Each structure stands twice: as structure tokens, then as C-alpha cells.
Amino acid sequence: MKTAGWRSALIYGCAVALCQPLAACGSADAPSASTNDKAAAPAKTAAIPAGAPLVIAFGDSLYAGYQLGPKEGLAPQLQAALAEDGVVARVQSAGVSGDTSAAGRQRLSYVLDNAKTKPALVVLGLGGNDMLRGIGPEQTRANLDAMLAELKKREIPVLLTGMMAAPNLGSDYANAFNPIYPELAGKYDVSFYPFILDGVITDKSLMLGDDLHPNAKGVTVIAEALAPLVGEALPDGE
């Protein structure tokens, strides 16, 4: 983990300590409308060829665009960031606010089976809600392992985005939770971004008022950081 990631995690821990009664990174019944915390500029839209590679962004509220407008979530902003890098791809959102790794595991096959075309890449990010709810890290590991195994079986490349345990949960929990992502990335030889909120959660101007979710500007930072990794992970990526 980069130093910046650890620093982000420490501040993240403070936010979680204050907001843990929420018990989730968003909730399934949370409002999806934009709030005043978001940035004014939405992601640019561009025509995507019908045969463009499909990227599925599969995760929780950090992927779903919690309280953001339809063009401000991770999928549209990542698609725009890729286009700016000269990479043409269609990015489909499969983020569900409140999802645990167990819930994601249950719906992964359904999402893949019902995609209009076989995904060229899945960007996978779950486990934050497990951590907020104090779910045993061994369960998080097992669920992510099963999802990565399913994607490998289907020969779908993956970019795994990591999460870190809040320090207030204690060293025992952190020592069991934090290694899950790098170890699974190594086991399955997938692309890896260590901390999805790196460089964002430390800056209040990039966060919603709950101090847990990025606003539109924060999502832009995340999308721009992920875009080069997505470009490299796509077939024929360099």
C-alpha cells in the first residue's frame, strides 16, 4: 500500500467512527438524486461504437454513484476518462448501494449472464460494507475469492479495487482484512488498485457531507486514476 493510501485510511477511520451507525456504504433505499455536495460539471458524453469493448463496474455505493446525478457516477466518468486517453469502451454500472461481498457474490452470475455481450473487463470493488458492519474478514475473503474464481472460469479479465479497514476497528481486524485484496490480486494475477478512495477521502472538497462517499469531483479523481489501469487491462491494452 502506498503511503498516501495509509494516510487516507487513517482519516477514513475517523469518518467511519462517526458514521458507523449507517452500517453501510450507502443503503439500498438511500436517495439517488444529486445533492449540493456534488460538483457542477458532469462527465462528458461521446458516441460509443456498438462493438466497443464492454467494461462492467461491479461494486457497492462507491460504484453506484451514491447521491450523484446519472452522469456523475463511476461508470460514466470512467468511460469519459478512457475516451480522453483515446480508449474507446462502454462502461456499464453494476454498482448497488449497500451491497456486501456476499450480496455481490449472489448477483455476479446474473449480471454476467444478462450482459449484452461478454465483458472485456470487470472492475470489481466490494468489501467496504463488510468492514463497516464488522463482518468477519474470512467471509469477505471467501466471497471475493469466489467472484474472482467465477470471472477466471469465464476468462474475463479483472481490475480489483481495494478497501482498507478503519483503524478504530483494531489491529486484529485490520491485520485480517487489509491483506485480502493484494493477496487475492496476486492469487488470480489480476490488475490491482490498492485503495479505491486514495487521494479522495483526505480532501473534504472531494467528499459528500457524510465523509464516506465521494462527490462528483471525487469520482472524477477516482476515474482518472483507474483509467490507465483499465486501458492496460483491456485486451490488446498496452
CA–CA separation, 5 vs 190, rounded Å?
20
Question: φ and ψ at 77, to 5 degrees?
Answer: -75, -35
In the residue annotation, 171 being an active-site residue is answered as: no
Q: Which of 145, 203, 210, 211 is catalytic?
A: 210
Of 154, 167, 146, which Cα lies nearest the Cα of 104?
146
Residues 84/46, Cβ–Cβ less than 8 Å: no
Q: Which of 8, 61, 101, 191 is catalytic?
A: 61
Residue located via cell numbers 479495487: 161
In the residue annotation, 130 being an active-site residue is answered as: no
CB contact set of 36 (below 8 Å; sequence gap of 6+): none
Residues 9/164, Cβ–Cβ less than 8 Å: yes
In the residue annotation, 213 being an active-site residue is answered as: yes
Task: Report, as residue numbers or ranges, the catalytic residues.
Answer: 61, 210, 213
